[in-house]
Structure 1
Amino acid sequence: MRSVRARTALGATLVVAVALVGAGFALLAVLRANLVDQAELQATVSARSVASQIADGRPPDRLDLPDDTEEHPVQVVDEDGRVVAVGDDIEAITGTGSPGTTAVAPRPGEDGGAGADTGEVSDDVAYSKGDVTVDGDTATYRFAAVRASGPRGGEVTVYAGAPLTTETATVSGVRDAMLGTLPVLLAVVAAVTWLVTRRALKPVEGIRGEMAAITASEDLSRRVPEPGTHDEVARLARTTNETLAALEASVERQRRFVADASHELRSPIASLRTQLEVGAAHPGLLDLPGAVADTVRLQRLAADLLLLARLDAGERPGRTRFDLAELVREEVSQRAGDRVPVRVEAERAELDGSRPQLGRVLANLLDNAQRHAAARVTVTVRTAGRDAVLTVEDDGAGVPEAERERIFERFVRLDDARSRDEGGAGLGLAIARDIAVRHGGTLAARRSPSGGALLELRVPRDSADTAEVVSCRSDRAGDARHRTPDRQDS
């Protein structure tokens, strides 16, 4: 059964069937108990009426028994189990103190008689069930047994019955009516559930059909219909459209990335090919340093693209404990040939993270600062609460406030007039921010006191703190790539 509607209708029908059957059994039990209680009440009243006569001193053979024996059969049994009084026309009886149907003569002293005192009627009543045959007809009765004693002593037990015919007939009638209407009710429940489920699932079928059309057409700009309700189906449609929008944006980013990467690779490849072709035709004109520079640039660009691909794939950095200040000093010591000298102001700041990746962040920030600095670059390392803070400051022209988020987008260069050889591909700051986010940190651009740019990296020093913030910061960083960032990348 692959249809949701069929499964829902079957499930609802089964649940209602179980509920109705359970309710039917309960109803019959309550009805039977009430009817039995009524029969017991009638039997008790009849038994006490006869017991009161015995207590008043009337002898057993002169008792005023009910005339309608079929409705109220009575049997009086003494302490020895002898039947001393019985209703007329009773041919057989069970469920009482004796199966006898003929009264015996009372013993001397049991013939009643007037006395100064009266006998006693017990307050206790015992109930039993038995059959009585009257004039050849047998029926089931509920008997009430009441003990009584006469004024001269002698105790007897009065058994009075009330028929259970009404109880049996009523319960049977109700049971038959329930069995007759149950299939009709179940059929109605199944039909209503089928129709309601069909109506409720109609928007889902619309969503499925539109998703199938989107898959076939590969047009991610299409959206599924959203019903005007505020139920789960409407929320499903909205979530589906949000997913389609995110997927469309992701595909568009991927297309732009591929297009930008192709464009960036085209220039150094074309330049290198031209130099090699000239060198092949005129060896004396070969610009070997230029060819090497273009090759290095290609190598760096390919490495950047590969790193971005790994970061986009969700690669998590391997973590070790190291001192960020020591990392800064090592990196600066290897850049003795930089155009602008770098000043280091670092205090010890140990953290858990990927030393190679954070070293890459530092290198990209220094490359960016060297490209824009006039005469000075300053690197500082400090701790702030649970974070390690690294800042790279230059005394260049700075970054306009409106551009301080856009510079972290991929392939963004604010100095459009600058040559690609001087300005880089625009990936350095994008890579730096991605690495910062995957360490649970942030990378932001501000204005330095000297008027240049100040790039600040904040990274949690403990792995536990990193785990708490990495997911939410990753989402914010992913959104930031498609807003307006800061400044030119390296």
Structure 2
Amino acid sequence: MAMRRPRLPKLAAVRVRTAAAAALAAALCLGGGALWLRHAIYANSVAASIVTAQSRALAIASTYETPAARVNADLGTLAIRSSDFDDPESNPGRLADAYRKYKTYQFPYFGSDAVNYVVVDNHGTVLEAQDQLAYYLREGGLTLPASPPQSREFVFPRVSVLLRPASSGQPGQLDGRTVTLVAYNTYNPGASGLDAKDVKATVYVLVSPLDAEAVVAPVDHWLYRGLPAAVLFVATVAWWAAGRALRPVERMRAELARITAVDISGRVPQPRTGDEIARLAETMNATLDRLAEGAERQRRFVAAAAHELRSPLAGLRNTIEVALVHGDTADLEVLSRATKRLQSLTDDLLLLARLERAAPATATPVDLAAIAEELASERRYQVPPDERFTVLSEEPALVIGREEELARMLRNLLENASRYARDRVVVTVAQAEPCLVRVEVRDDGPGIPAPDRERVFERFARVDEARDRGHGGAGLGLAIARDIAVRHGGRLYVADVADGACLVAELPQSPRT
């Protein structure tokens, strides 16, 4: 059985990712900056070395015209280096011979014992060599161009050559490296300088990479040692900062874990920092408030629904039990009224449940004026007819939504008005303002007291006195109507009128009108 890889806690994983991201950013920024700085320093050092090599090549070429220079050049041998001398205490006689030989072959140029240069004729024959270039010519078979490079006065061509290791196996400082040689030509008197035959000699001066590498050595030291330490430091600081920033999140998580469906009164601690975490805590507390409010509303709804269902069920049961005990026939009219009330209440409860979980209203134009006229006409033709309803509408009033839901909203408003109206119910459908349709249902009944104008929209809510169960309502009609209005982007409220009651529904007008 394969072993599962252990997982870090969520917050620890966030800290690890934060620290890793900070370390990566630090490595890219610091490393990239250090590499750019190293390249700039190295390039500047190489450029300085090339300028120095050019000045030395020009000085050597100018001194080549002296008689002493021509005598030494005619010897055609390679000068030795001071490092080739033996220990003077061990063999002082050989040292004197070597020094005399060195002085004989030394090119007459100031400081020539520290300059890496080669002088060749126009056929590539070495006339004079100094220091490391002399070593690689003698020991490594250094090959120079067979013909002098093309150049003009005060123009210094560059040549790249490979310094091979010595055949004897003795290591050199530049073994196996390709180096740059700065060249400068000297010409025969009266020559134009356009032909290789006019070249008297060519001076090659080595641009040693060792100088530039010595200059960038401190930068390399920082790169190899300081950069990992800097990246580790940044990662540690990021780990610590992420831990401090996430500490309130951990407290919120722990508090949320203690909140259950039974007890939803707890709230997460809200930091006073005013940052994103504080706003998260505020949002979580607001969400918990809404959940608590919804849970309390659901509890009251279930209790009220059970209470409302108990009354017709009790009536049905009493009627049936009386008939069974006395052997009489049950009162069918009572049974019919109780059954209708149960059916109506059950339909309302199912509609409320469907409205809560249904998708938002679709974009279908619906004419509220036509629906209102149709509902009023149904009441005129019912038995007995209800002639109290009047619909006032000058033109179609199109809104966006589901026709069956909007029809249910208007039916509930008309049903509510019919219970309490004495002689007249006026339904007005018109465009109240641009892009807004208003439906007013006004009756001449007892009206709704100002303190109860919001409570009538609560589920199973009834106003005392005239608006009670005696008029046949269960307290769900207006609640359903408001839910439908809100789902369609509108609102439903009780307007302030002098006589009777006036319920107003305002819905967005269809853009197709």
Q: TM-score range by the shorter chain?
A: 0.7 to 0.9
* Residue 413 of structure 2 is aligned to residue 365 of structure 1: yes
Q: 1:346 maps to what in 2?
A: 393
Equivalent runs, 1:55-454 vs 2, <5 Å: 60-61=70-71, 65-87=108-130, 90-93=134-137, 94=142, 96-97=144-145, 122-130=153-161, 131=163, 138-140=172-174, 142-149=180-187, 151-153=189-191, 154-155=198-199, 156-171=201-216, 174-215=219-260, 218-282=262-326, 287-316=331-360, 323-336=367-380, 337=384, 341-349=388-396, 351=398, 352-384=400-432, 385-416=434-465, 419-422=468-471, 424-448=473-497, 451-454=499-502
- Secondary structure at the counterpart of residue 379 of structure 2: coil
Q: 1:51 maps to what in 2?
A: 61
Q: Distance in 2 between matches of 1:264 and 1:178?
A: 81
Q: Distance in 1 between matches of 2:225 and 2:507?
A: 75
Q: Distance in 2 between matches of 1:52 and 1:83?
A: 18
CA 1:377–1:273 in 2, change beyond 3 Å: closer, same or farther?
same
Preserved contact between residue 447 and residue 499 of structure 2 (Cα < 8 Å): yes
Please list the CA deviations of residues 338-381 of structure 1 after superposition, one character each: whole Å capped at 9, or x if unmatched: 66622233334153543332222222111211222222111233
Preserved contact between residue 144 and residue 161 of structure 1 (Cα < 8 Å): yes
After TM superposition, the structure 1 stretch with the greater mean CA deviation from structure 2, 77-86 or 240-249, is 77-86
Q: Distance in 2 between matches of 1:277 and 1:132?
A: 120
Q: CA deviation at 1:129?
A: 4.7
Preserved contact between residue 123 and residue 147 of structure 2 (Cα < 8 Å): no
Q: Distance in 2 between matches of 1:227 and 1:322?
A: 49
After TM superposition, the structure 1 stretch with the greater mean CA deviation from structure 2, 372-381 or 168-177, is 168-177
Preserved contact between residue 338 and residue 370 of structure 1 (Cα < 8 Å): no
Letter in 1 for 2:389: V
Q: Distance in 2 between matches of 1:133 and 1:270?
A: 113
Q: 1:487 maps to what in 2?
A: none
Report the aligned-residue RMSD.
3.6
Q: Distance in 2 between matches of 1:298 and 1:88?
A: 115
Preserved contact between residue 118 and residue 205 of structure 2 (Cα < 8 Å): yes
Preserved contact between residue 146 and residue 159 of structure 1 (Cα < 8 Å): yes
Preserved contact between residue 77 and residue 98 of structure 1 (Cα < 8 Å): no
Letter in 2 for 1:47: A
Letter in 1 for 2:187: S
Letter in 2 for 1:8: T
When normalised by structure 1's length, the TM-score is 0.78
CA 1:394–1:67 in 2, change beyond 3 Å: closer, same or farther?
same
Preserved contact between residue 133 and residue 139 of structure 1 (Cα < 8 Å): no
CA 1:296–1:361 in 2, change beyond 3 Å: closer, same or farther?
same
Q: 1:29 maps to what in 2?
A: 39
Letter in 1 for 2:186: A
Please list the CA deviations of residues 182-221 of structure 1 after superposition, one character each: whole Å capped at 9, or x if unmatched: 4433433333333222222222211111111114x74211
Letter in 2 for 1:175: D
- Secondary structure at the counterpart of residue 393 of structure 1: strand
Q: CA deviation at 1:43?
A: 0.8
- Secondary structure at the counterpart of residue 340 of structure 2: helix
Q: CA deviation at 1:318?
A: 6.5
Q: Distance in 1 between matches of 2:38 and 2:324?
A: 106
Higher strand share: 1
Q: CA deviation at 1:24?
A: 4.2
Please list the CA deviations of residues 157-206 of structure 1 after superposition, one character each: whole Å capped at 9, or x if unmatched: 32223543333344456434532334433433333333222222222211
Preserved contact between residue 446 and residue 466 of structure 2 (Cα < 8 Å): no
CA 1:436–1:78 in 2, change beyond 3 Å: closer, same or farther?
same
Please list the CA deviations of residues 401-451 of structure 1 after superposition, one character each: whole Å capped at 9, or x if unmatched: 443333222222222575413151211111111112223333232145x72
Preserved contact between residue 96 and residue 159 of structure 1 (Cα < 8 Å): no
Q: 1:112 maps to what in 2?
A: none
Q: 1:116 maps to what in 2?
A: none
Please list the CA deviations of residues 286-314 of structure 1 after superposition, one character each: whole Å capped at 9, or x if unmatched: 55433322221121111111111111113
CA 1:176–1:99 in 2, change beyond 3 Å: closer, same or farther?
farther
CA 1:272–1:340 in 2, change beyond 3 Å: closer, same or farther?
farther
Letter in 1 for 2:54: T
